Structure 1
Amino acid sequence: LVETTDVVFAVDSIPAIFGVTRNPFLVYTSNVFAILGLRSLYFVLANIIGKFHLLKYGLSVVLAFVGVKMLLSEVRPIGIGVSLGVVAGVLVGSVLLSLVIPPRKESKADD
């Protein structure tokens, strides 16, 4: 199951890689390293993901940014440095905010 997840995440990341570069060598090697590295990172992230409750929102912002970047690539290209800065900033920001802001406790309404 973990190996299948590695492949799914690697294939799923191809559009994100094309948002950064069009170089086929980089796309191929990044997917190879993703498949090799995700298995070990999965177990690390599985243990600490509860601490980063805002990370899912940060990832959605990153995916939206990459989608907009790909749509606008012909009209208004965004540089690689800016793209990597936005991605890194959003991810680091969501992790730091997750550590500073405690998770909200869901209250159960009595019916």
Structure 2
Amino acid sequence: EAEALGREPNVGVWLENLVLNDLLAWRETEIIKPGLFFRRTVTGEEVDLVLERGKRVLPIEVKAARNVRVSDARALDAFCAEFPRRAACGLLLYDGRDILRLTKTTVAAPLGSVL
């Protein structure tokens, strides 16, 4: 079943929505509701989700892949470089098993570790 899911053309969109819905449910338990956004620049650079609490933000990318590469952190690193005082790091969620430090500002973690 997992292999069949990996072949689905829209699995990435499905996983993004799964994470979004989980964050929206968590947000409702908070007294002060954190902001939850997505970001797309005029050049097309995109960050799937941006979680905002106070002056801090956490950019999040969701990848439907079992392995991640440094290049997968490009949008998160660019976001952190643009907002260094607000975004200390980015979080890349993927279908793997390990927590990895991809770059100076991006950590990759299994989807299951946060859902």
The verdict on a shared fold, with TM-score over 0.5 as the criterion, is: no
Instruction: Using CA pairs under 8 Å that are at least 6 residues apart, name the structure with larger relative contact order, 1 or 2.
Output: 1
TM-score by structure 1 length? 0.29
TM-score by structure 2 length? 0.28
Q: Of Structure 1 and Structure 2, which has the larger fraction of its residues in helix?
A: 1
Greater Rg by CA: 1
